[in-house]
Structure 1
Amino acid sequence: MSNPRLELPTLLLDAQQQTGLSDFGDDSFREACQRLLWSLNTEANLNDIGRDSQYQRILTILKTRLRFAHYLKQYPQILDEVIEPPLVIVGLPRTGTTLLQRMLATDPRFYSAMYWETLYPVPLEDIDFSQPEDPRIDAARAQVQMMLDTVPELAAIHPLEAEAADEEITLLEQSFFSTNPEAMANVPGFGAWLEQQDQSPGYRYLKQLLQFLQWQKKQRGHSARRWVLKSPHHIHCIDSLFAEFPDAQVIQTHRDPLQTIPSLASFIHHLWQLGSDQADPLAVGEQWHRKMAAGLHKTLEFRQRQHGDRFLDVRFIDTVERPLAVIEAIYQFADMPLTAETRTNIENWRARNHRDQRAPHHYSLAQFGLSEPQMDRDYRAYRDTYIHPEKV
């Protein structure tokens, strides 16, 4: 499609016509989607590829909502699925959250969402869940390959794999209450609006999608004990996370923002380049530095007020240098025995996934208009508490 119309009525109608369905379920997504479309049309400087990509991304979400509402009518028992207290990994991006989640996901007692499941939580058509192959997997593989073909540098920054455990921010995106759109394009108006909103609708829909994924996994013969989730997004919405999952246990990962923020900015800048010829690294640095500083501050305040005993702190350096000691601490925190099978699974996964198998990732603060004094000022409370507590 050339120059698709990024307008809500058009997208809603296209989704309905392509699925033959009409019920989108809860209407809370509409204003968020409308705000996003305004930003994409007026702020993002999208090229033709970017417009096509954003049209397809939003259309896919709307079709997913239609299909999900349809499934709930056919199988209302989906919402009877009990989500046991999840283990949730949070922290700044580039702090080992993916590494921890993928090691824990090797334990069959944990449910985890594969990347293809986060992109397509609802089947693209009626399928036999007992069959090993699912057309959603091939669709996700194709998307990963497209991203790597367009910006090969992404492979050095984040391990993109269709069939690996990944974060649920893409499930939150199904309601448009997600920072994913801000990672894919320069949409500061949408981001500013989102920061002022009650995030409850997004987390309610996330829980329903987890119930559906859990139901699907059981149809395929996989029954686990609890979910291992992870997303840096949760530092912005930690109150909403606990409101929806009050018994959650949280692993918060820590690494100096001097290392993480420019690395994150590099990743976001490469993503913006997928759809714009005017991706501004300074805009990336300003937006995401401010956003992450605010998120860390919000989580720090939340922890000081309540739920302190529901957090386990993990340093990035320990995850890298002493991974099994970190894993042991996590299992003790989760009150789960660390079995010999799980130890073997984790060791085998680590042997197949060394960081040095990927190209090095190069970045600097200056590339994104950032400086050490600025970082020290804006992250001082966080750094004093978790990075250099001996200075407090």
Structure 2
Amino acid sequence: MLRGYLSPLMSSVQPGLLRACDRFARRLGILQQPLVSERLVAKAESRAGRPFADSAFVPALERLVQSYNEEAALSLIGRAAARWDILRFLGNLLRFEQEEAFAPALLQADVESPIFITGLPRSGTTFLHTLLALDLANRAPHCWETIYPYPLARGGRDRRIARVDRQFRAFENLSPGIGNLHPLTAMTPQECTEICAHVFQSLRFDTTHHVPSYQAWLEDNGHEAAFRFHKRFLQHLQHQNGVGQWVLKCPDHIFTLDAIRTVYPDARFVFVHRDPLSVLPSVAKLTELIRAPFTRVLDPLQIGHQVSERWDEGAQLIVQASQKLESGPGIFHIHYAELTAEPMASVAALYAHFGMTLSEAARQAIGKFILERPRGGYGVNRYSFEDSGLDPAQLRERFAYYMSAFGIANEVKTRADRRAAPALTVA
């Protein structure tokens, strides 16, 4: 109850308080002290009481830490969060090694025919992922188990779900507005970028921070090693909680399709399509809100440019992938307009396409969710193209190839769209 009174207060004072903390930390020289990957690895090993058996992750960690130190302009909270994040990943890796020593057979278990949902961000991929996760025959990684894949302590009460919910609420206080734009709970199905981040090869880091040199290294290095770990991570979850039809989701998958198909030859793909003009301002705003607590330099125009460049490349890859994979039993296309207008029918069509059975229990669970959350749990959000330096007319022209390739209807009318509209004939 007290938290309900504190949250509005925290929302109103937080930005000023964070800036004051940064000024104080700068005077003390804290922000000038770099993160050091060797020390972080040593700290994780000390906590676990054993060294790493496999240090293949180290080059990626070193590149990420270098980019954090030189480019991300980490705030005091950003520095603390980056350190905590890295130590958590390292701790999970050490725990994986320990569990594999106890039960080596877990790595022999197959991950059969996983379904990967992808498309432009903010296009309905999260909504679809959530609906599919309601079917108990399916298996989606939840936020709590991607953050803490094993219990924090052996024996006793498992407190992971409660801890993750507290952490999410704390972040909402640090970045007011993010709860409306991207609501999260411990039980929310999580994106695969959080899994790949454990080996420091994830597009997630370029969203949460300005790290262009790390991102360039990642693109050059490829994603196969990250997805080999991704499979290993799923095997650990299966080892604890059993096997199901894996349903996985991330817009960033469009950049990693070759790696996914190498690691998972029987993977199936769902592409969700939406007007990019409805997507890009929302992506830019979400990126801004995610980065805000972690950096001393927040540039909405740079973010807008990054988002438009990244997802123009992404849209091109979607078109290329569709042509390469072709329509068939392993690929399914769905439009945001269809998904939101008739979600149950959309899910049923997906199941039919992949030869899956949609049980009555799953229908009821999905129907209940749709009835209770007509907007998928999202609040009302307001943002403009101008906030991120985006020009809707230029974007309409730039993404015309993608709209045409999949017959996507315009959701946002630019002046050019209005001029091109046919005249209305009144009988």
- Same fold per TM (> 0.5)? yes
Instruction: Give the letter for the 1:348 counterpart.
Output: K
Mapped pair 1:81 → 2:109: yes
Give matches, 1:339-354, under 5 Å: 339-354=359-374
**TM-score normalised per structure 2:** 0.85
Mapped pair 1:145 → 2:180: no
Aligned partners of 1:88 and 1:249 also within 8 Å: yes
Mapped pair 1:136 → 2:165: no
- The 2-side partners of 1:318 and 1:40 are apart by 41
Instruction: Give the letter for the 1:113 counterpart.
Output: P
1:313 to 333, 337, 344: 333
Aligned partners of 1:238 and 1:299 also within 8 Å: no
What per-residue deviation string (whole Å, max 9, x for no partner) do you get for residues 117-150 of structure 1? Answer: 111223333347xxxx522222211220111111
Match of 1:279 in 2: 298
Aligned length: 381
3-state secondary structure, aligned to 2:296: coil
- The 2-side partners of 1:216 and 1:95 are apart by 32
- The 1-side partners of 2:46 and 2:113 are apart by 39
Match of 2:202 in 1: 178
Aligned partners of 2:127 and 2:376 also within 8 Å: no
Match of 1:215 in 2: 239
Deviation at 1:203, TM superposition (A): 0.3
Match of 1:333 in 2: 353
The structure having more radius of gyration, on CA atoms, is 2
Aligned partners of 2:121 and 2:283 also within 8 Å: yes
What per-residue deviation string (whole Å, max 9, x for no partner) do you get for residues 96-116 of structure 1? Answer: 111111111111111111111
Aligned partners of 2:282 and 2:383 also within 8 Å: yes
- The 2-side partners of 1:121 and 1:105 are apart by 18
Match of 2:382 in 1: 362
Aligned partners of 2:191 and 2:248 also within 8 Å: yes
- The 1-side partners of 2:280 and 2:396 are apart by 12
Deviation at 1:374, TM superposition (A): 3.1
Instruction: Give the letter for the 1:174 counterpart.
Output: H
Deviation at 1:389, TM superposition (A): 8.5
What per-residue deviation string (whole Å, max 9, x for no partner) do you get for residues 34-71 of structure 1? Answer: 11111111111111111001110111111111111111
- Cα RMSD (Å): 2.1
1:244 to 251, 263, 278: 263
Aligned partners of 2:275 and 2:409 also within 8 Å: no
Instruction: Give the letter for the 1:302 counterpart.
Output: A
What per-residue deviation string (whole Å, max 9, x for no partner) do you get for residues 131-185 of structure 1? Answer: xx52222221122011111112011101211112222210011111111111111
Match of 2:189 in 1: 165
Identity %: 29
2:49 to 3, 20, 43: 20
Mapped pair 1:62 → 2:90: yes
**TM-score normalised per structure 1:** 0.92
- The 2-side partners of 1:36 and 1:102 are apart by 31
Instruction: Give the letter for the 1:319 counterpart.
Output: L
Shift of the 107–317 alpha-carbon distance from structure 1 to 2, 3 Å rule, reads same
Deviation at 1:24, TM superposition (A): 5.1
- The 2-side partners of 1:86 and 1:134 are apart by 28
Aligned partners of 1:91 and 1:232 also within 8 Å: yes
Mapped pair 1:107 → 2:142: no
In structure 1, the gaps of 5 or more residues are: none
- The 2-side partners of 1:101 and 1:388 are apart by 21
Deviation at 1:5, TM superposition (A): 4.5
1:6 to 31, 35, 47: 35
- The 2-side partners of 1:314 and 1:268 are apart by 25
3-state secondary structure, aligned to 1:370: coil
Aligned partners of 1:86 and 1:228 also within 8 Å: yes
- The 2-side partners of 1:260 and 1:389 are apart by 13
- The 2-side partners of 1:388 and 1:353 are apart by 25
2:308 to 289, 301, 309: 289
Deviation at 1:291, TM superposition (A): 1.4
Aligned partners of 1:157 and 1:361 also within 8 Å: yes
In structure 2, the gaps of 5 or more residues are: 1-24, 411-419, 421-427
